Amino acid sequence: MAKKALCIGINNYPGTHMDLQGCVNDANDWAGVLAGRGFKVAKLLDDQATKAAMVQAMGDLIGKAAKGDTLVITFSGHGTYQPDEDGDEADGLDEALCPYDLQTKGEALTDDEIKALFASRKAGVRIVLISDSCHSGTVTRAAKAEKDADTRPRFMPMGNWLPTKLLPKDRAGATATTMVGPSGSSPLLGAYSNNLGDLLLSGCKEGPNNFSYDARINGRYNGAFTYYALKALARLKPGATYAEWHKAIVKYLPSASYPQAPQIVGSEGARKGKVLE
């Protein structure tokens, strides 16, 4: 029964003018903690985390796992959405993760693509997903600033990376200047399977106008969720459950600087599972 992990962190998004600052630190921090708990860890950081590389790494991790294995995937970076092309989204939008080459290659990693990767798993493979990115929304809402706080949301608007011809149109056929955010979920929740015992920990609620924030805490950049999730983890008693971990995290978030509400999604059995076992 192997324990393997993939930690992805992307600060640099060439051509988008939407770089972040805490995501690489997030990935390195998760990787260090997971390695200390017996996981064999692979990382994709900044220019390593192209869409092709993310697909390859996820496919290898999941495809090579055997019954009884535990997999952990962490993602820190921008979330986005794009017009749905196959008609499976009621709101007409696919949720997606943003790879390093989002703008230069013009392709996000959509929830449909991630779901297909996860569907390749063998029976009995358990997956824990940890998402420190925005699920959906607009960038019109910002957190209240406090001293030494960075309030940058981890959300990439479509207009920052999609060609104009692919952007949603209004009734007159012109490029829409405003748009209601999707009512759907994060890409990783789309890949999550309740029946197979998966568990998702995320930095914010699903749906419109919910954000995970880049933070600067004690002079160092992190995702606010990652920082406090790892702080809570370090203080957990041996044998603590995922439900207890989440309860400890929400003692820190939401806060005045980072008004985000971390979520836990999973069956009762998954929530009662021992953390990172």
Residue pair 261/254 in contact by the 8 Å Cβ criterion = yes
What CATH number does the domain containing 13 carry?
3.40.50.1460
- Single pTM value for the model: 0.85
Judge residue 86's burial from the number of C-beta atoms within 10 Å of its C-beta, 0-12 exposed, 13-18 middle, 19 or more buried: exposed
pLDDT tens digits, residue range 14-57? 998 889 999 999 999 999 999 999 999 999 999 999 999 999 99
Under DSSP, the state recorded for 162 is S
For residues 191 and 125, give the distance between their C-alpha atoms in angstroms, rounded to a whole number: 14
Residue pair 260/210 in contact (Cβ under 8 Å)? The answer is yes
Would you call 134 a catalytic residue per the annotation? Answer: yes
Going from the C-alpha of 261 to that of each of 94, 203, 215, 248, 255, the distances in angstroms are: 23, 7, 15, 12, 9
HEC-encoded secondary structure of 176-194: CCCCCCCCCCCHHHHHCCC
Q: Which residue among the candidates 7, 23, 98, 134 is catalytic per the annotation?
A: 134
CB 122 within 8 A of CB 232: no
Looking at the domain assignment, is residue 48 inside a domain?
yes
Contact indicator for 257, 146 with CB cutoff of 8 Å: yes
d(CA 151, CA 244): 28
Give the active site residue among 23, 78, 98, 135: 78
Whether 276 is covered by a domain: the verdict is no
Q: Which domain holds residue 249?
A: 3-271
Whether 277 maps to a domain, the answer reads no
For residue 264, is pLDDT > 80? Answer: yes
Q: Residue 259 is which amino acid?
A: P
pLDDT, mean of residues 84-107: 74
Q: Where are the alpha helices (DSSP H) in 124-234?
A: 187-191, 224-234
The residue type of 207 is G
Mean pLDDT is lowest, of 16-30, 122-136, 213-227, for 122-136
Determine the average pLDDT of the residues in 138-151: 41
Residue 13 falls inside a structural domain:
yes
Residue 145: per-residue pLDDT: 39
- From CA 6, how far away is CA 121, in angstroms rounded? 15
* Domain total in the chain: 1
Q: Which two tokens stand for residue 229?
A: 């999730």
